[in-house]
Amino acid sequence: MKVIDHIKNANGRTLFSLEILPPLKGENIRTLFDNMDPLMEFKPPFIDVTYHREEYVYKKKENGLLEKRSTRKRPGTVGICAAIQNHYKVDTVPHIICGGFNKEETENALIDLQFLGIDNVLALQGDAIKSEAKFMPEPDGHRYASELVEQIVNMNNGKFIDEDLQHATPTNFCIGVSGYPEKHFSSPNLKTDLKFLKNKVDLGAEYIVTQMFFDNKAYFEFVDKCREAGITVPIIPGIKPITAKVQANVLPTIFHIDLPEELADEIEKCKDNAAVKQLGIEWCVNQSKELMKFGVPLVHFYSMGKSDPIYKIARRLF
């Protein structure tokens, strides 16, 4: 079922959903299921699965020279989505990225998803390759998520790349896109960022999932600004429990987000990571309660491979 229909069917009740990462190459899918099993108690209507592009590693050869190799450390997004749908009978949302794909490869990947009975995709630009300073599209690939949205909408209308392809069966994907309450890092300002976000919605995106935030004020103001800009689709808040002291610096570095002073001060006072984890749970519960009171359609949790704190949070809310 489509994400947008899950939201409609909830009739204003706030739902629980989560984002997971495919396991590291070589790990067993059973580990992933063991991690997810407890969370099924909260009946997520759908689960997002991230996509991780290739990165370059350097291997020392016998002659002492370094060999540059391309590798994907977390392959399997599509397989994991199909396995989850099979195992739990829960809808999945694979993340589809521009990076590393040309348009033909994107089309073929979407055909695979259609055949697997996957009804949703989150269309993204995707992160830059780790060793590269900025995102670079493939030759004949997409630069912006909006172009990816356009291609999926075309396929939903039966329009494929090969113009000679007559009577192609249209796909029927519900398309989500990302939004940034604290602005995307490469955007000159929030107003410009919102202009491009509106463009993705105008092209056919049916809902938005936000980057993580730790201050609900950022989300509330973002929603207000989106509505003022004429964006009417559901805006799903994404939040993450802090689990380690080091995240006070790592999360702002990676995700270009702020931690409120109060949270940063409390983290600093924690004796160890067990205390940080408990603080993260309390912070997330309070954030979620306020978001639910505001009437958000879902609270979407970024698990980043750790289900235990999310379980403790969800038990107190859902």
Site for ligand FAD in 126-145 (CB under 6 A): 126-127, 144-145
What residues are labeled active site? 19
Asked if 124 touches ligand FAD (CB under 6 A), the answer is: yes
Which residues neighbour 272 within 8 Å (Cβ) at sequence distance 6 or greater?
A: none
For ligand FAD, the closer of residues 5 and 150 by Cβ is: 150
Interface residue with ligand FAD, options 2, 95, 240, 277 (CB under 6 A): 95
Binding-site size, ligand FAD (CB under 6 A): 22
Asked if 17 touches ligand FAD (CB under 6 A), the answer is: no
Contact, 284 vs 241, CB < 8 A?
yes
For ligand FAD, the closer of residues 187 and 278 by Cβ is: 187
CB of 219: closest distance to ligand FAD in angstroms?
13
Residue 188: CB atoms within 10 Å: 8
Site for ligand FAD in 226-245 (CB under 6 A): 238
CB of 268: closest distance to ligand FAD in angstroms?
27
91-97 vs 238-239, strand pairing mode: unpaired
Asked if 187 touches ligand FAD (CB under 6 A), the answer is: yes
Residue showing tokens 């060999």? 67
Interface residue with ligand FAD, options 35, 85, 92, 146 (CB under 6 A): 146
> Measured between alpha carbons, how far is 173 from 90 in angstroms, rounded to an integer?
16
Interface residue with ligand FAD, options 81, 97, 110, 259 (CB under 6 A): 97
> Measured between alpha carbons, how far is 211 from 238 in angstroms, rounded to an integer?
6
Interface residue with ligand FAD, options 91, 107, 182, 193 (CB under 6 A): 193
CB of 144: closest distance to ligand FAD in angstroms?
4
For ligand FAD, the closer of residues 169 and 186 by Cβ is: 186
Residue showing tokens 């991230």? 50
- The binding site for ligand FAD (CB under 6 A) comprises 50-51, 53, 95, 97, 124-127, 144-146, 178, 184, 186-187, 193, 196, 200, 209, 211, 238
